Structure 1
Amino acid sequence: MRRRTFLAAMLASAAPRPVWADVGSPAWLAAAALPDGSHRLHGLSAAGDILFALPLPARGHAATAHPERPEAVAFARRPGTFALVIDCRAGREVARLTPPDGRQFNGHGAYSADGSVLYTSEVVAESSEGRLGLWDATRSYARIGEWSTGGIGPHDVKRLPLSDDLIVANGGIQTDPTDRTKLNLDRMQPSLVRIAPDGRIIDHAGIADLPQNSIRHLAMLPDGRVAFALQWEGDPAETVPLLGLWTPGSAPILLPAPETEGYVMQGYAGSVAYSPALQALAITSPRGGALQVFGSDGRFIATHRRADVCGVAASPDGFLVTDGNGGLSTLSDRLIPAQAAPVAWDNHLIAL
C-alpha cells in the first residue's frame, strides 16, 4: 500500500499541469448578459469566437486571469458581493469569494506575478475607504489580509509588468453603501498609488487641478508608464481631459482632446487599453457612443463612433472593441465591425 501510494504521488507530480492552451488559448475574457437575463463570463479566441461561456450569479464587470493555469476570477459590478473563481477547463466554480463584513468588492482585481495571491479592489462600506483584499490562491483562496489603498473609492488595480508592485486607481468618490449615491463630490481627491509587495504605499499622485475628475481605469505601458481613464463629476458643460499618463515618481500628465472632440465623450471614459502594435492608447465612452485614440506620446489621433461601446483591449493589429449590442469590432486605422453575438457585452474586455 505504501508503494502504491508512493507511485500514485509520483505520477501525480509528473502529470502536466493544465494551462490556458487546454481551453483553446483564449485571447480575451469578457462578461456579458444573455437575452434570458442570465450572465456569463466568456472566453474569446484570437478571431473573436466564443470558446466558453461560464455562468455568473449576477451581472459581472471585469475579470482577471491566473498567469499560468486556466483559471479566471469574474468580479461583480460594484458594490459587489461576489468574486467567482472559475476553472475554465472544467467549467466549474473553484471558489466563491465573499467580502468580509463591512467590505464591498469594487469590480476589479489582479494576481501576483507567480499567481499565488489574488488582490481584490474593495471599500469599507460605510466610508468608501480603499482596501486591497489578499487571497491565497494556493489554499482555496483563503482570505489572508488586506492593505489600505491610501484613498477613497478604489476601482481598477493592475500589476506593473515584470514586478509585484501594484498600481491602484482611487476614484475619490464616497458612495452610499446601498444605493451608490455620491456623497462627496465637492471634496473629492482622486489619486494613483503604487503599492510594494509588503503593502507599503511607495508612491502617491493626485490631480489637484481637476479634483472632480475621478480616476477609474488603468492600462500599463511597456516602458513602465501608467495610462489612466477618468470620469468627470463636475459641471457637465465643461470639457476636461479623460485620459492621462503617469510615470511613477513624477506628476501625472492629462491628455486633452481637441475641444470639439472632447464633447463627444460626454465626460465619461469607461475603459482604457494600450496597443503595442499601434503604440497607441484607446479610451471608450458608452455614453457618447465613441472611442478615442491617442499616441503613446500623448497626441490626439482620432475619434471613432460606435453605439454603447465600452470594452477595449489590445489585439495583434491594434484593438478589439466590444459594445452593449453584442458587437465585436477591430480597430487599426479604422473601426470595422467584425462579428456579433446574441449577448450584451459588459464594460470590460480583458486581454490574456
Structure 2
Amino acid sequence: MATRRGFLAGLLSTGLAPALGWADAGDPAYLAAARQPDGSYHLYGLTARGAAIFHLPLPGRGHAAAAHPQRPEAVAFARRPGTFAIVLDCATGETRARLEAPEGRHFYGHGAFSADGTVLLTPENDFETARGVIGLWDAAHGYARLGEIASGGTGPHEIRRLPGTDIFAVANGGIETHPASGRAKLNIPFMQPNLSYVTLDGTELDRVELPHDMHRNSIRHLSVRDDGRVAFAMQWQGDTRDSPPLAALHRRGDDPVLAVAEADAHRRMQGYAGSIAFSADGARIAITSPRGGLIQVFDAEDGRWLHQIESRDVCGVNAGASGFVYTSGTGRVGGGTEGVEGGAWTADHAVAWDNHLVRIAQTVPA
C-alpha cells in the first residue's frame, strides 16, 4: 500500500492523475480512530470484515471522522474539547489540511459533508456564551472557514445529513462545558437537550424535546435511515439505577418513539449509550454501552427490544452485511449477531479502538 500511495502522490504532484475515488484507497468499508500500543493515535480504514487497509497518524486522540462523499478523503476530529481536525487523503496518505477551531470554540469530535461534498459542517462549542454552533468549511477550496450557523441548542455533539437533502439532524446534548473546567458538566440541573433539523443557510426546520422528566437524558449520537428516519442515542446524567430509555426514533412531523429494553437488560447499560446505528436493511437499530459491555438491538419502527450481544468495552457500531459490525477498546472488530442471525466473526488488532465506527457511504458491506 505504501508503494501505491507513493505512486499516486507522484502522479498528483505532476497534475496527471485522474480524479481519485474510494477504490483508490483500497475500498474501505469503515473508518475508525485507535490508540496504538506505543501511545500514538491513528485513523484506520477497515474492510467489511474488520481487516486494516491503511492507518494514518493523528496528532492526538481521535473521536470520529467524516468521509467525503466522492473523494477518498476523511476528516478526523479530536475528542471534545479538542480543537484540531485533520483532512487526510486516504489514497496517498497525505495530510490535505489541518482545521483549527476558531478562538473561543472547540470541536465535539464529529462532522458531516453537504450532499455535493463542497461544505464540511462541524458541531462546535462557543464556550464563553454556552452557545452551540455549526462551523461551515469550504471543502472545495482547501477547507477555508466560510462561517457558522446556530445548532439549535447547547452542546451540539453529532450532526448527520438526511439522505437526498441538505437538511441536517443535530444532536444537541444540552450540556454546558468550558475548557477551563476540563470535561466537567456545568448545568446538569437545568440542561435541555434536543434534536434539531437545520439547513445550510441556518434555517431551523424543526426541534424535538423529550418530556421534562427526561431532561437529563443527553442526546448525543445519531444514525439516519435512507428514508430520513433518525435514531438517536442518549446518555443519562442522573442516577444510572433509574435511567430512562437510552434510544429513540424520530421522523420529522411525528413524536419520538422510545426504544425500551427489558428491565434487567436496560440496567446493565448503566445509563450510557455510546453509539447508534441502523442495520443495512433499516429494520433494526443497535446501541452500545462500553460500561455494560453490551450491544442492544431494537425494532426500528416501534422501538421494541429484540436481543443483545455481549462484548467487553464495546462502543463503535454500524451496519454490516449480517446484523451489525462493532469495535471495542480491547482491539476487537466483530460482526454478525452471535447465534441470532448466524455468521458471527471477529478480528482482533493490537490497538484500542475509540468510540465510533464510521461507514463510508459508497461502500456496501458484503
TM more than 0.5: yes
Is 1:169 equivalent to 2:171 in the alignment?
yes
Q: What pairs up with 1:1-352 in 2 under 5 angstroms? A: 16-178=18-180, 179-209=182-212, 210-277=214-281, 279-297=283-301, 298-332=303-337, 333=340, 336-352=344-360
The alignment partner of 2:108 has SS state of strand
Structure of higher RCO (CA pairs closer than 8 Å, 6+ residues apart)? 2
Normalising by the residue count of structure 2, what TM-score does the alignment of the two structures yield?
0.90
Q: Deviations over 1:203-227 (max 9, x none)?
A: 1111133000000000001222100
Question: Offset at 1:334?
Answer: 5.6
1:181 CA displacement: 1.0
Query: Which structure has greater strand proportion?
Result: 1
Distance in 2 of aligned mates of 1:152 and 1:135: 21
Q: Distance in 1 between matches of 2:191 and 2:253?
A: 22
Structure 1 pair 330–223 and aligned structure 2 pair: CA distance change class (3 A): same
TM-score, with structure 1 as normaliser: 0.94
Which residue identity lines up with residue 269 of structure 2 in the other structure? M
Aligned equivalents of 1:311, 1:213: Cα separation in 2: 20
Aligned-residue CA RMSD (Å): 1.5
How far the C-alpha of 1:299 sits from its partner, in A, is: 1.0
Q: In structure 1, what is the Cα distance between the partners aligned to 2:262 and 2:322?
A: 26
Percent identity reads: 52
Aligned-residue offset at 1:12: 5.8
Distance in 1 between the 2:130 and 2:44 partners? 30
Distance 2:183 2:282 in 1: 37
- Report the residue type matching 2:203 in the other structure: R
CA apart distance, 1:198: 1.5
Deviations 1:68-92 (A, max 9, x none): 0100000000011100000111101
The answer on whether the counterparts of 1:321 and 1:331 sit within 8 Å (CA) in structure 2 is: no
Give the 3-state SS of the residue equivalent to 1:22 in structure 2: helix
Task: Tell me the CA shift for residue 97 of structure 1.
Answer: 0.2
Give 1:278 shift: 6.6
Mapped partners of 1:70, 1:224: distance in 2: 25
Whether the 8 Å contact between 1:277 and 1:317 is mirrored in structure 2 is no
What SS is found at the alignment partner of 2:239? coil
Give how far 1:139 is off: 1.1
- For 1:235 and 1:26, locate their aligned partners in 2 and report how far apart those are by CA, in whole Å: 40
Stretch moving more, 293-302 or 250-259: 250-259
Structure 1 SS opposite 2:111: strand
**Distance in 1 (alpha carbons) for counterparts of 2:270 and 2:48:** 32
List per-residue Cα deviations over 1:146-204 (Å, max 9, x = no partner): 00111000100000011111110000001132312111111011000100231111111
Following the alignment from structure 1 to structure 2, what is the Cα–Cα distance between the partners of residues 97 and 150? Answer: 23
Q: Which residue identity lines up with residue 267 of structure 1 in the other structure? A: G
Larger CA deviation: 276-285 vs 43-52 = 276-285
Structure 1 match to 2:5: none
Instruction: Tell whether the 8 Å contact from 1:20 to 1:69 is kept in structure 2 after alignment.
Output: yes
Whole-angstrom distance in 1 between the partners of 2:139 and 2:83? 19
Aligned partner of 1:300: which letter? Answer: W
Q: Which amino acid aligns with 2:29?
A: A
- Cα distance in 2, alignment partners of residues 316 and 253 from structure 1: 26
Instruction: Give the secondary structure class of the aligned counterpart of 1:303.
Output: strand
Say how many residue pairs are matched. Answer: 341
Q: Distance in 1 between matches of 2:147 and 2:281?
A: 39
Structure 2 runs not aligned, ≥5 long: 1-13, 361-366
Query: Given residue 305 of structure 2, which amino acid in structure 1 is its aligned partner?
Result: F
Instruction: Provide the rounded CA distance (Å) in 2 between the counterparts of 1:193 and 1:307.
Output: 33
Answer whether contact 1:126 1:177 (CA < 8 A) is retained.
no
Question: Taking structure 1 as reference, are residues 66 and 264 closer, same or farther at Cα in structure 2, changes over 3 Å only?
Answer: same
Contact 1:275 1:318 in 2 (8 A): yes
Bigger drift between 309-318 and 59-68 goes to: 309-318
Secondary structure at the aligned position of 2:264 is classed as helix
1:111 deviates by: 0.3
5+ residue gaps in structure 1? 1-10
Give secondary structure in 1 for the equivalent of 2:354.
strand
